[in-house]
Structure 1
Amino acid sequence: MMTGEQGYLNLCQYILKNGTKKTDRTNTGTYSVFGQQMRFNLRDGFPLLTTKKVPFRLIASELLWFMKGDTNIRYLLQHNNNIWNEWAFKQWVESDEYDGPDMSDFGNRSQRDPEFAEIYRKQMNIFKRNILNDNAFSAKFGYLGNIYGKQWRAWKTSQNETIDQLKEVIHSIRHNPDSRRHIVSAWNPEDVPNMALPPCHTLFQFYVADGKLSCQLYQRSADIFLGVPFNIASYALLTYLIAHECDLEIGEFVHTLGDAHIYTNHAEQVKTQLGRHTRPLPTLKIHEEKDSIFDFELSDFELLDYDPHPSIKAPIAV
């Protein structure tokens, strides 16, 4: 059983040692294993990794974006959050409206070629300015399709109605805590072809026992070095918020992984992280005057006593 941050590090070591070398849609290549699980006791501290600095502000603003049902990166850019830029940028540079320098395979090329990296940076800055200042441009190229927020808050039915899964699961936890149906799904087969990135974290389920709320996430595709540390903290935060609204204590976060992989160009970064010792986990403080999770803003969260090792940079595979 893999538990806590050490469990995460053990998984990294296991994948490097036992992972199968596989190709992938990004043409980067991965070391991959299938079917893994980690458990985090949320009463031991907030599970933000300490063996490298993980930006909590970006995690929290992304989660608020999901919870609002938003699918346009403008909100993220307004909060200085750039974690979804590459997927929206890709839509622009592959469109008929783009007339700038060739941006094919920009993620890998920007890592290998400093001259191209500067050209890419300039084009990305143009793109971000347009998203923030041009409503028509933002509506067309900032929109990522019916990704997480849309599925969580406005799942479209065959009767042309919508289901607010997040509100319904909170109601279910409050009024029928022993139910085995506290489930939210982001995987909508009809919408998947039109998403900038089909959901990697596809389904989550809540569980109430002894006055504590736990959450299990099934993640079909898990970028162990860059993505999974965000996913762990994001779903832990969501569990904290729903427990707060439902007057429950926090329990566990259980993270179940399908294709758990380390990109080949992240291997050295992972080895650097594995050479570090874990430190005490931070504490999450939530401003408690707000009752509904839909009322929270970024300023309502405070992370106390976070003392991580320095961040480790790595390229994003797009």
Structure 2
Amino acid sequence: MSLRHIPIPSTPWAHPPVCPTYNLATRIQTKLQEDLLSWKAAGGTSSSAPPPRPALMTFTPAPTFTLGRRQPPPTSAERAEMSKRLICETYRPASRADFSFLKPAIVQTPRGGLTTYHGPGQVLFWPIIDLKSPLHNHFTVRSYVSLLEKTTLETLRKAYNISGFTDPKNPGVWARKSRIVMGPDGDDIEVEGQEEKVAALGVHLRRNVTGLGIAINFRMPLSSNPKENPFVRISPCGMESDAVTSVAKLSGRTLPLEDAVDTLIPMWADEFARQLGVANAANRDAGPLVEADTWINWAIDMGIVKRKNSGFEIARKRKH
């Protein structure tokens, strides 16, 4: 048994390309959660039906500010500031348009915490698992949060030689980028920078079934310009905006956004499946750790496209 991977593409149909909405990802997550909850309601391990496989959704959403349960409702002035159009580099840019001016959405979420941002240049990993499933290791809420953090730490270390760390008081993954300065005698001295967050974490559980997950800042604008850097418009998770960093900045490399698809996502998924303890982690001859779903099936199921003879067409909203 392997981990079921559902990669939501950022550019399935449109040119210039667009990212999936946060609400679309939530709809897919909800369907997967309902499958697990229905199995549990039918008797769980005593049920004749096999338990649903653990799943992982990965995607880069359209620009979105998400509000946690601890966040007071934003004022009209705060909403107006957050809603201003952003200059966003698209995930897999088309030749005609490398940049787009996109208006961020503002979404209320069930997670704890305060306001944060998700959008182009970032990758979200949302596992949908039953913490007590017979198909893999069992977890408490605390050990599950640790699982997400450890998976991210190992992936960043293996893929980009980034040494991160965690903070018990602030969930997520943090890092420090050192720099060389001139010492009093003219010699080079290595100085550690401030703590900066490279991955934000937020989870929500219902009867031990997980929702949401972790977001890795892969390559995002980190300037002080609010037209480019959305974190300048808020205090992300209660932090100062300059406490946010990215994989590209920490690695010191010019990373194309495609590398998030080609390297970061598959390595994170494999590491998560291994630490989750799916059956194939103990017996690699049984098959791959991760098996990807075909996106077109989900696109049809979610009403994004519909079948038309032997091909497909984008589903249009009916006018009532």
Asked whether the two chains share a fold, i.e. TM above 0.5, the reply is no
- TM-score, length-normalised on structure 1? 0.26
- TM-score, length-normalised on structure 2? 0.26
Larger RCO (CA under 8 A, 6+ residues apart): 1
Structure with the larger strand share: 2
Structure with the larger helix share: 1
